[in-house]
Copies of this chain bind each other. A is one copy, B any other.
Amino acid sequence: MTTIVDVEVHDVRFPTAASGDGSDAINRGDYSATYVELTTDGGPTGTGFTFTNGRGNEITCAAVRALAHHVRGRTVAEIAAEPVAFWRSLTADVQLRWLGPEKGVIHMATGALVNAVWDLRAKLAGKPMWRFLAEAPTDELVATVDFHHITDALTPDEAAAILDKGRDGLTDRLAALERDGFPSYTTSVGWLGYPDEQVRALTRDAYAQGWRAMKMKVGGRIEDDLRRARIIRAEIGPDALLMMDANQVWDVDEAIAAMGVLAEVDPYWIEEPTHADDVLGHARIARAVTELTGGRCRVATGEVAANKVIFKQLLQAEAIGVMQVDACRVGGVDEVLAELLLAAKFGVPVCPHAGGVGLCEYVQHLAIFDYLRVGTSLDGRMVEYVDHLHEHFTDPVRTRGGRYLLPTAPGYSATMRPESIAEFRFPEGPAWR
């Protein structure tokens, strides 16, 4: 009977902005974590975080503190017994809900807390998160999902059918993953802040390491985007996948025009072609891009999709061909479960968003669980991989030949090394003095 006795939150920031790592059409960040520790009465400590881009990490920390009273003093058993009640205590607080609802700062804080609870549960079970979820009974998983506001797209019965069906062949799929790892792609070759020769060298290097799917940033001047895309395509040949990410910089008609130019290099997807909230805009772009490329290119989005209601609509409107859930922008594992099930219902592959700090560590579990129990296919599935900041985690991701190896340590791989927290705490850590 483990009780969560306290909720601690740390403002941890890494000074990445200066290097151009992570620069794109609209972001230039100091990758940061609103890092939560749930201390218990003798059990392991549950850890979770939400990712931010630097300035403002103190705001998400304040939001965690505002929500912490819903977590402090709770037992793990009572949370596990009534997961939707717990979830709603955070997302439907009669005063705090106004600050969202279920979006932005307050929802990102929810994600940090909810993920920390799941980390704790998986640690108590002695299993890595992917296994903890994949081995859970269908009714427990269904009971975890708050279907409020999504029943017009997915009912509990439909969710149960998907999860039951996901038991078939699970052992074979697990054996395949243990043998080969999980497919991924790299975003480290084409940040906007990198000059052409660096892009070429990084692409060549990534190809040599085994990567056959690479993502570049677009949304600068169209002639620059095309030149950089040609460099990458020349290096990787016609068969490897080239993805593009505009980080919301275009208006709807600009996106369609730009893709008319960039279609030349045979992009596999265009990610965030316009504002993250623009479901109808994404749908229009998807129709245009399908026509422009004969269906070879698809629209991807999700890293800034606020919640399951936005994802539901992206699927209903046929606006996306790839769904990129984030592990902590939405309110943590409970909501990601809803999103994976929605994607399965609509037949859209999930390629989780990663990068930043700790996001690769998180989402590998989600993608593996999705393959084992929900989506049950590797067709079109890849986890983003960015080679930054893994050294700060006690259980960092491991890759081989462009594939993630299965995590084995109990928990959600979300635990930071104490030395890293001490060094990079903002503003008092030595790195910031």
Q: Are B99 and A104 in contact (CB under 8 A)?
A: yes
Q: A26-B92, A99-B104, A105-B105 are in contact. Are A63 and B52 (CB under 8 A)?
A: no
- Can you sample 22 A-B contacts with CB below 8 Å? A27-B98, A29-B94, A29-B95, A53-B95, A53-B98, A53-B99, A56-B106, A59-B99, A62-B62, A99-B104, A99-B105, A103-B277, A104-B106, A149-B274, A150-B251, A151-B252, A151-B253, A152-B281, A152-B284, A275-B309, A277-B306, A278-B313
Please, which residue of chain B has its CB at the minimum distance from the CB of A64? B59
Is A30 interfacial (CB 8 A cutoff)? Answer: yes
Known contacts being A97-B27, A280-B317, is A66 close to B58, with CB within 8 Å? Answer: yes
A101 within 8 A of B: yes
| Residues of B contacting A236 in the complex (Cβ-Cβ under 8 angstroms) | none
A106 touches B105 (CB 8 A): yes
Within 8 A of B (CB), among A232-285: 248, 251-253, 274-281, 284
Q: Is A17 an interface residue (CB 8 A)?
A: yes
**A246 vs B135: C-alpha distance in the bound complex, in angstroms?**
39
Could you say which of B60, B252, B253, B275 contacts A99, with CB atoms under 8 Å apart?
A: B60
Cα A104 to Cα B59 in complex, Å, equals 12
* A149 and B66 form a contact (CB under 8 A): no
Q: How many copies does the complex hold?
A: 2
Listed from nearest, the 3 A-B pairs whose CB atoms lie closest are: A104-B104, A105-B105, A53-B98
- A307 at the binding interface (Cβ < 8 Å): yes
Residue of chain B at shortest CB distance from A255? B152
Which of A17, A149, A276, A312 neighbours the largest number of chain B CB atoms within 10 Å of its CB? A149
Query: A residues within 8 Å of B by Cβ?
Result: 17, 26-30, 52-56, 58-60, 62-63, 66, 92-108, 148-152, 248, 251-253, 274-281, 284, 304, 306-307, 309-310, 312-313, 316-317
Contact of A95 among B17, B279, B306 (CB under 8 A): B17
- Minimum C-beta distance from A328 to chain B (A): 12
Contact B94 A26 (CB under 8 A): yes
B149 with A275: CB separation less than 8 A: yes
Interface of A is mostly: loop
Given contacts A108-B99, A281-B152, contact A93 B275 (CB under 8 A): no
Bound together, the chains give a CA A53 to CA B96 distance in angstroms of: 7
| CA gap between A304 and B59 in the complex, in Å | 20
A58-B62, A152-B284 given; name 8 further pairs at CB < 8 Å.
Answer: A59-B59, A59-B66, A59-B99, A103-B277, A149-B278, A152-B281, A277-B309, A279-B280
A278 to B306 CA separation, bound complex (whole angstroms): 12
Cross-chain contact A251 with B284 (CB below 8 angstroms)? no
Are B251 and A151 closer than 8 Å at their CB atoms?
yes
Q: Does A29 contact B253, Cβ atoms closer than 8 Å?
A: no
Q: Which residue of B lies closest to A29 (CB)?
A: B95
List of B residues within 8 angstroms of A316 by Cβ: 280
Selected from B55, B92, B278, the residue in CB contact (under 8 A) with A93 is B55
Residues in chain B near residue A274, CB distance under 8 A: 149
A98 interface neighbour in B29, B103, B149, B309, Cβ under 8 Å: B29
A58: chain B residues at CB < 8 Å are 62, 66
For A107, the chain B residues whose CB sits under 8 A away are 104
A97→B97 CA distance, assembly (Å): 20
Partner of A309, one of B29, B59, B103, B278: B278
Contact B99 A52 (CB under 8 A): yes
List the B side residues contacting A279 at CB < 8 Å.
279-280, 313
CA distance A312 to B278 in the complex (A): 9
Question: What are the residues of chain B within 8 A of A98 when measuring CB–CB?
Answer: 27, 29, 52-53, 56, 304
